[in-house]
Amino acid sequence: MQMERRQLWERREGKLRRALGVVLPGESVGELDRIGEEDQLRAKQGLVAVMGEGGRISYKHIDALSTHDMYLRIATERVEVAWLKERVVSRKRGATSPTIPYHLG
* pLDDT tens digits for range 35-90: 999 999 999 999 999 998 888 899 999 999 998 888 888 989 999 999 999 999 99
Residue 105 has pLDDT above 80, yes or no: no
Model pTM score: 0.84
Q: Which residue has the higher pLDDT, 89 or 3?
A: 89
Which residues are CB-contacts of 57 (< 8 A; sequence separation ≥ 6)?
Answer: 49, 50, 51, 76, 79, 101, 102, 103
Yes or no: say if 76 and 90 are a contact pair by the CB < 8 Å rule.
no
Dihedral sign, Cα of residue 24, residue 26, residue 29, residue 30: negative
Tens of pLDDT, residues 12-38: 999 999 999 889 988 999 999 999 999
Helices H / strands E in the chain, number of each: 4, 2
pLDDT at 3: 84
Determine the Cα–Cα distance for residues 64 and 20; give it in Å rounded to an integer: 28
